[in-house]
A and B are shown apart, each in its own frame.
Chain A
Amino acid sequence: MTRFRRLPQGGRIDRAKPVSARFDGKALGGFAGDTLASALLANDQVLIGRSFKYHRPRGLVAAGIEEPNGLFTLGEGATTEPNVAATMVDLVDGLVARTQNAWPSAGFDLMAVNSILSPLFQSGFYYKTFMGPTKGSWMFYEPFIREAAGLGKATGLPDPDRYDMRYAFCDVLVVGSGPAGLAAALTAGRSGARVVLADQDSDFGGSLLSGNDAGHEAWRIACIGELKSLPNAETCARTTVQGLYDGNLAVLVENRSHLRPDARKGEARMLLTQLRAKTIVMATGAIERPLVFSNNDRPGVMLASALRSYTNRFAVAPDKRAVIVTNNDTAYQAALDLATAGVAVTVADHRASVSADILSRAGAKGIAIFPGSGIFDVEGAKGVTRVKLGGAHAVTIECDAVGMAGGWSPVVHLSSHGGIKPKFDEAAAGFVPGGFPASHYGAGAMMGTYGLSAAIAEGSNAGASAASYAGFGKTRPVYAPEHVTDRSYAILPTWAPAYSAKGKAFVDFQSDVTIKDVKIAHQEGYRSVEHLKRYTTLGMGTDQGKTSNINALALMAEYRGITIPEAGTTTFRPPYAPLTMGAIAGRTVGAHFRPVRLSPLHDWHVKNGATFIDAGLWKRAWFYSWAGATPETAYVKEMELVRRGVGLADVSTLGKIDIQGPDAAEFLNRVYVNGFAKLPVGKVRYGVMLNDDGIVLDDGTTARISDNQFYMTTTTAQAGEVMSWLEYLLQCHWTDLNVQVASLTDEWAGMAVSGPKAREALQLAFPAEDLSNDALPYMGCKDFPFEGVTVRLLRMSFSGELAYEVHVAADYAISLWAHILKAAAPTGIKPYGLEALASLRIEKGHVAGLELDHRNTLDDLGLGKMAGKEKDYVGRALRFREDCQSPERWSLVGLELMEPDKKLRGGSILFAATDEIKGHGRGYITSVTWSTELNTFIALGLYKGGLGHEGEEIIAAFPLKNEQARLKIVSPHFIDKEGARLHA
C-alpha cells in the first residue's frame, strides 16, 4: 500500500532539477530543495529504521532539527558520518545514506526480539542487572548490549574532510530567520548596524517556509530581498548557533556538506565561526510537542507541523487520509493545509468543544472533527493502517498518517547557556527564557509569542533595541503583512493519555522511553528531573529531548502531585545540536594540532643525519647517524665522544632572557636563592629559583655582561614560566626596581662544546681569542666579535667535562656551528644529541626537568647549601615550613643497578628490600641511563629519606612489564666528584 506520495504540483522543490542519491544501496530520487527526509517520504519510505532499545519499526517524526528517529549514516569509508538527522540533510547528487540500528534491514530486523524481551529494557535495567549484585558482569555484557542497542558507528579512520574556522564581529546577531528573526534583522539592518542573521535551515523564513499563504510568502521574499541588499548585513543559511559564551561570543557552525558529497573537491565541509556580537536577538522559534498514546511510535505518526511542512514545502503528503490528534487550535493549520492539498483529514480534539470559527473553516474543507476525543490505539506494524479513537467518539479510521499536535515548546536553549534558567509560562504552556542580560533580546515563539503579527512586532522591536544598544540610532520598523489574524495557541494540558490501549506509549522516541518507564522511575524514588534523565536515559539522545522534555517533566510533576515549575527543568548546555568533532577541531589536526618550535640550527640537523624527538613543542636533535642507527647504540657512542674527545650539541631551546637596568643585580639577588649581587662582570653563575611557596621553580645560569646587563638561561621546559614570573614580580610587586627583561629565546642560538678537547676545539675556531684557563677560567664568560658578529662564550658544564656554551644571534647560528665543526676538525669534534646530553648530566648528577617536578624543595634536590644565609630571596620563608623540613621527604639519590643482566626503566617504583611490592612505594626513578664510565645502568631518583639510606640495597619495580631489579643507593654524583675535569 502507498502511504505517502509526491504531490503533482507545489512545494519549494525545483522539479526541473532532479537529484539522485543512494539509500541503503539503492537509488533514491528527488529534486533540488528536498531533504533526505522529504525524498524518503516522497518515495513512500515510511519505515526508516529501528528504535534504539526495542528495535521497534520507526518513521520520521519531524521535518526539522528535532527529528528523533530519522538518523542515518552518511558517506562511505573514511568520510562516514553516523547519526545525522535526515531532516537536516540537503538531497544532493552523490549523497550516500544508510540506515543504522537495524540488521539486516529496517524492514526485517532480527533484533526485533528485543521487543519481546522488553521487560529487560525498562528503566534502570542496566543499573539493576549489570551494576548491582553481580559486580563485574557489566564488563562482560557491555560489548553485546552496545552492539545490539546502538546508534551508528564511527569509522575509526582519519577524517579526510577539511574543516575551517574563522573569527568575526558584528553589532547585532539574530539567531533564527522566522518571522520574528527576519523582522529583527531587517529593523536592525536599517539602522546601519552590522547584522548577522543565522539559520540552521537551508533557506530563510522559519515557519513561513512551511506555510502556503501567498501574502506571507511575499512578505518573506521582500524582507530577505531588502536584507540581502544591505551592505551591512550578512545572512548565513545552514548555520546553527551552537552555543553562547561569556562576552557575547557565539559559536556558529555552517554545514556545507551540500557543496560536496564528493570529498575530493576541496571545500571545507563545515565552517565554525567565533562571532563576537555586541548584541544578540534570539528568535529561535518553538518545536511542536508530540502527544503520548498507545503505539504513538508507529511509522507514519508524526508531528502535525511536520505533516504540514512536508505537504507545503516539499510537496509530499499522506496518500489518502490523515488523522490529526490535538489539544489546541494550531493543529487546524496543518489540517486545513493537508485538506487543501487533497488529503482527507479527520481531527480528534481532546477539547470538548471547538470554536465556531474553526468549525466553519474546517467544515468548508470537508474536515471531520471529533471533539472530546483522542487516540486509543494505532495499528500497523510497519506503518500506520488504522487509528482507533477513544473518548467521546470511539470510532476507527483507516488512514496513512497521524499528526500529533501537543502544543509548542519554545527553543530556550541559547538563552540558558549563560546560566539563566528558563521559567515556566502558564499561558504559553511551556518554558520561556528566565531573563536576559542587558545585551540580549528574545522575540517570537521562543518567548511564547506565537501569533504571526505579534511575533513580527516583537522581532522588530527587539531589532531596534539591539541596534540602539549597539550604538545605532534611527531605524524603521518592519510591519506584519496585512490581514493577519493571530489565533489562539492555548492548549488543554493532557499530558498522560486519557484513553489509551495497552501498547507502548512513548515519551522519548530516540531513547525509547515510555510513559511506563517514567512511572517506574517515579515509583523507585527518582524524583529529580536530573535523576529521571539518568535513570531512564530520557533526553540523553542526540536530539537531547527536544520533543520529549516537557512531556516527561509534566508527567513527573503529575505523578508527584506538584506543578511543572516545581518539578524544574533540565539544564541546557552547548552544543544546541549534534556536532561533528571535525568542526570543533577545524584545522588544528595532524601537523597543525599544536605549534612546532624549531631551533635555528634545525636545517643543519636535518641535512646531517639527525633523528628528532619532541621536547614540549620543540623538535630536538635526538642522535646523529654518524653514531648509530638507533638511539640505544648511538647515544653511548656520542657520550664516549664527549668523555674522551669533544662534541658539539644544540642547546638553543634553553630559555634566554636579557636583564638590564641599574637594579638588575638586586633583582637577580632576590629571585635566585644564591647570591648574585656581587657577581663580577665576566662571570657566570649557576642559580636556583623558588616559588613563593618554597618549592623549586627552575634552575639555570646567569652571566654578568656589564654592570647593568645580565644574560639568563633557564631550562627548556620552564622558559615561558620563568619569563612570566620575572615580569610578574617586576610589574606587580617590585615596581620600585628599575629593571627591564626581554626574552631572547628565539633570537639567540646556543651550542655546547664539551669534552676534554673543548678548549682545543674552540681555540681552533677562534684563534684570535685567548681561551687559556687563566684568561677564561671555569664559570668565566666573555663577548667577542668574530667576523663582525658578537659571540658570547660561557665556560660552564652540565656534563661534568671541560665545557663551554657558545651563544650567537640566531641568524648566524648555522654558519657559526659549521665553522666550529670545520675549524676544529683536527680534534675529531662531532655533533651529539639530546639523548647523550641528558645521559651525561645524569652521570654528573645534575638535576633537570624530570627531577624538578614542582613538588621538591632545595633540600630534596641536595641543593640546600646553595641558599644564601644572609639575604632574603623568593620562597625563603616557606622553604622552612615544617612539611618541607621533614627528613622523610622524597629526595634525590643516585641509583646503581646491581644485576648486570637486567635493565632499568624510568618511572620504576622504588621499594625497600623488605617491603611488599605493592602500592606507591617509597619513591621512583626519574632519569636513567647506561653509564659508559661505570659500565652499568645508573639512575637518579627520588626516595623517601634520600641519602640517609646511602649504601642500602633497594628494589625497583616496573609493574607494567612485571620487572624487578636490585639497586644500590649511591651519591648522585657518579663521576668526578671533585670537579677536576671542570676546572681543567
Chain B
Amino acid sequence: MMIPCPHCGDRDVSEFRYGGDASKQRPAHGTGDLKAWHDYVFLFENPKGPHTEYWQHVLGCRRWFKLARNTATNEIGGVVS
C-alpha cells in the first residue's frame, strides 16, 4: 500500500504509523464529561468501506494527517484537510 504524505508524496505504508479513526471530534481541552470522553475514546463505527483516519509519516517527515481509505479495498482516497 502506498500512502500519500502531504509533505513527501507517495511512500510505502511501512514508513507510516496508523493513528486511528479521524472522523470523531476530540472534546476540546478543559471540556468534556465522562460520557463525552468515553464515547470519543471507546466507541467506533469500524466501517467496512470508506474511512477517514489518522496516519503519521513516522519514519519520514513525522507529519500527522487525515487520510481517506477504503477499509475493504485499501483504495486510497487522498489526504483530507
Residues of A within 8 A of B (CB): 245-247, 249, 276, 419, 670, 692-693, 720, 724, 727-728, 731-734, 872, 877-878, 880-881
Contact = CB atoms under 8 A, between A and B. Distances in A.
B58 A728 contact: no
A877 B1 CA distance: 37
A881 B42 CA distance: 12
Which 8 A-B pairs have CB atoms at the shortest separation, nearest pair first? Answer: A877-B37, A246-B1, A731-B64, A247-B2, A246-B74, A872-B30, A247-B1, A692-B41
B29 interface: yes
A720 B26 CA distance: 23
B37 A731 contact: no
Contact of B56 (A419, A693, A728): A728
Contact of B17 (A276, A724, A878): A724
13 contacts: A245-B1, A246-B13, A249-B2, A276-B2, A670-B29, A693-B42, A728-B19, A731-B63, A732-B22, A732-B54, A878-B37, A878-B38, A878-B41
Contact of A727 (B27, B30, B38, B62): B62
A728 B74 contact: no
B32 interface: yes
B34 A877 contact: yes
A826 B70 CA distance: 67
A877 B32 contact: yes
Contacts of B29: 670, 734, 872
B46 interface: no
B72 to A, nearest CB: 8
B17 to A, nearest CB: 7
Contact of B26 (A247, A670, A727, A733): A733
Contacts of B73: 419
B58 to A, nearest CB: 6
B46 to A, nearest CB: 17
Contacts of B41: 692-693, 878
A878 B64 contact: no
B37 A728 contact: no
Given A734-B29, A872-B29, A877-B32, A727 B1 contact: no
A732 B53 CA distance: 11
Given A247-B13, A276-B2, A877-B36, 10 more contacts: A245-B1, A246-B1, A247-B1, A247-B74, A727-B64, A732-B54, A732-B64, A877-B37, A880-B34, A881-B34
Interface string B16-40: 0101001000110110111011101
**Which of A276, A872, A880: most chain B CB closer than 10 A?**
A872
Interface string B37-81: 110111000000000001010100011101000000110100000
Nearest to B69: A246
A692 B56 contact: no
A245 B12 CA distance: 12
Contact of A692 (B13, B40, B54, B66): B40
B54 A728 contact: yes
Nearest to A737: B29
B58 A724 contact: yes
A877 B30 contact: no
Contacts of B64: 727-728, 731-732
A922 B66 CA distance: 43
Nearest to B2: A247
A173 to B, nearest CB: 15
Contacts of B36: 877
Contacts of A245: 1
Nearest to A874: B29
Nearest to B35: A877
Nearest to A418: B73
Contacts of B26: 733
Contact of B37 (A249, A692, A734): A692
Contacts of A276: 2
Nearest to A734: B29
Nearest to B76: A247
Contacts of A733: 26
A419 B62 CA distance: 32
B16 to A, nearest CB: 11
Contacts of A419: 73
B36 to A, nearest CB: 8
A727 B22 CA distance: 15
A746 to B, nearest CB: 14
Contacts of B32: 877
Contacts of B76: 247
Nearest to A666: B29
A877 B40 CA distance: 11
Contacts of B56: 724, 727-728
A633 to B, nearest CB: 42
Nearest to B72: A419
Contacts of B19: 728, 732
A24 B54 CA distance: 58
A736 to B, nearest CB: 10
A877 B39 CA distance: 12
Contacts of A720: 58
